[in-house]
Structure 1
Amino acid sequence: MSDEDITLTAGDAEVTVQPGNGGRVGGLRIGGVELLRQGQRFGCFPMVPWCGRIRDGRFLDGAAVRQMPLNAPPHAIHGTARDGAWRTARTSTAEAVITYELVDPWPHPGRVTQVVALTEDALTLTMSVETYESSFPAQIGWHPWFNRNLGGEDVTLDFAPAWQEERGDDHLPTGNRVEPKPGPWDDCFGMPGGVDVTLTWPGQLELKVTSRQEWVVVYDEQDAAVCVEPQTGPPNGLNTAPRLVTPLEPLEASTTWSWRRL
């Protein structure tokens, strides 16, 4: 099937899925109000086969050291799948399944599958990474750009992480866990009971980002949008907390955004 945009609807919620633009969710409208920052590189993109930055673009893959392109010098950032064209496997009114084949510069063949499922009051994104051949380390995450303002007051964030990963001058975790600090943030937090972050646009909408994963990056250093990014490991995690994809065991993760009007 093609890589043309897909529109999903449920009640007064509408989602645009863009297989041809990195497999991203290009828009989420609730009652006609767009929640995601618009633009070619925004919306909500999948971070796979790694999340955030890899130090110097290098990671250990068994005995081999792999080098990824330095697309955020001096590091490599956010995986390769957001820059490729995904393919549509199947669609219905409220669900789309899209796939991406891992290719160069990633050193291993594999398939990423993403399921985008919409209901009247929630959007669930599910992703898996499978390998046909050799095992390899990988990560899964999502990078939504939520509009800071929907026409009223700015959004507020509420969450209670167990710790914050101390961030070095190179924007990567140092390995130390510290007490959560007030924002602004470009930081990774640990939530061992699962990611649970509430975004509130006062008088308009409350949206909860949840996931069974225990890592979330929060980025709110830009005026236009705030990002709440559930992921299967911390930045540089291919080196510090690798999760192995094997022929018998794919890597899977999901996140749900649920909302209610205020």
Structure 2
Amino acid sequence: MSRVTKNVRLAAGDTELTVDPVHGCRISSFRVGGTELLRQGERYGSFPMVPWCGRTGNGLFRNGAELHRLPLNAPPHAIHGTGRDTEWQLARQSGTEAAFFYDLADPWPYKGRVTQSFELTEDELTVRLGVETYENSFPAQAGWHPWFLRDIGGEGVRISFEAAWQEERGEDHLPTGRRIEPEPGPWDDCFGMPDGVDVKLTWPGRLELTVKSRDEWVVIYDEQDEAVCVEPQSGPPNGLNTTPRLVTPIDPLEIGMTWSWKRL
């Protein structure tokens, strides 16, 4: 294990992946055949959301009788966790694989460790996140927030998926708890896929990329001109309060995601 102060590059065939561990262990670049697929910049790429995903209402959540307050980094809510703002450490690396970790600390109120690994082949990327505790149990979430470029040359990207339901979004941008029939976009919305996340991005005449996860929750965000987001996650926004998943010493939280692609 070592301290990393520079980016880590993985390559397989003509696919290149760059991980920036200093700025939240995000994928800062993902290139297929020399074409960049991710929006560039320290806030973008594809970053992990951990130990919560999306918005936590008013920055408040409970663990049993304990009430905790998180910094309001998207007032009036706390958004996307602390992992994206943390420097991660390198656990291992080869030409096509790498793994990283960081230890949970303030402002998160519980001790634990987060791990993230990347495995690249010529036509698939597998990413895994884990959250574990050695002491107290606590609710947590994990997932990813990729910013895929809308335009890589030619027609803009098309998003296709079939969801069992859409979480109704309230005026506060939090799910109301009511499930509705999926509505047409544009979206900043959470969808349920009980058989696992399966969303296809198609850049006509260029590339087709499929995002999959065994977990059933995904947020689709396509309200910006530059990029679209397909965000697999272990629970819905505000899930620390509505669908808490406890991390215990014998039951860590684990989630995986794959991107697979083919040229058109």
TM-score by length of 1: 0.99
Deviation at 1:225, TM superposition (A): 0.1
Gaps of 5+ in 2: none
CA deviation map 1:95-154 (0-9, x unaligned): 110001100000111100000110000111101001010000000110000000001110
Deviation at 1:2, TM superposition (A): 2.5
Q: Distance in 2 between matches of 1:36 and 1:65?
A: 37
**Secondary structure at the residue paired with 1:238?**
helix
Q: Tell me the residue number matched to 2:177.
A: 175
Deviation at 1:61, TM superposition (A): 1.2
CA deviation map 1:15-70 (0-9, x unaligned): 00111110101110000000000001100000000000000000011210100000
Runs of 4+ more than 4 Å apart: none
**Secondary structure at the residue paired with 2:28?**
strand
CA deviation map 1:184-230 (0-9, x unaligned): 00000000000000000000000000000000000000000000000
Task: Write the letter of the residue equivalent to 2:98.
Answer: A
Q: Distance in 1 between matches of 2:63 and 2:154?
A: 48
Q: Tell me the residue number matched to 2:144.
A: 142
Q: Tell me the residue number matched to 1:43.
A: 45
Q: Tell me the residue number matched to 1:195.
A: 197
Q: Distance in 1 between matches of 2:126 and 2:19?
A: 13
Q: Distance in 1 between matches of 2:3 and 2:36?
A: 25
- Aligned match of 1:119 in 117, 121, 125? 121
- Aligned match of 1:156 in 158, 162, 165? 158
**Secondary structure at the residue paired with 1:258?**
strand
CA deviation map 1:156-179 (0-9, x unaligned): 000000000000000000000000
Equivalent residues in 2 for 1:1-262 (5 A)? Answer: 1-3=2-4, 4-262=6-264
Q: Percent identity?
A: 66
Gaps of 5+ in 1: none
Task: Write the letter of the residue equivalent to 1:135.
Answer: S
**Secondary structure at the residue paired with 1:65?**
strand
Q: Distance in 2 between matches of 1:188 and 1:8?
A: 31
**Secondary structure at the residue paired with 1:239?**
helix
Q: Distance in 2 between matches of 1:252 and 1:117?
A: 16
Task: Write the letter of the residue equivalent to 1:112.
Answer: V
**Secondary structure at the residue paired with 2:246?**
strand
Q: Distance in 2 between matches of 1:244 and 1:6?
A: 32
Q: Distance in 1 between matches of 2:101 and 2:12?
A: 23
State the Cα RMSD in Å.
0.5
Task: Write the letter of the residue equivalent to 2:222.
Answer: D
Q: Distance in 1 between matches of 2:126 and 2:22?
A: 20
Task: Write the letter of the residue equivalent to 1:171.
Answer: H
Q: Distance in 2 between matches of 1:132 and 1:5?
A: 29
TM-score by length of 2: 0.99
Q: Distance in 1 between matches of 2:153 and 2:160?
A: 20
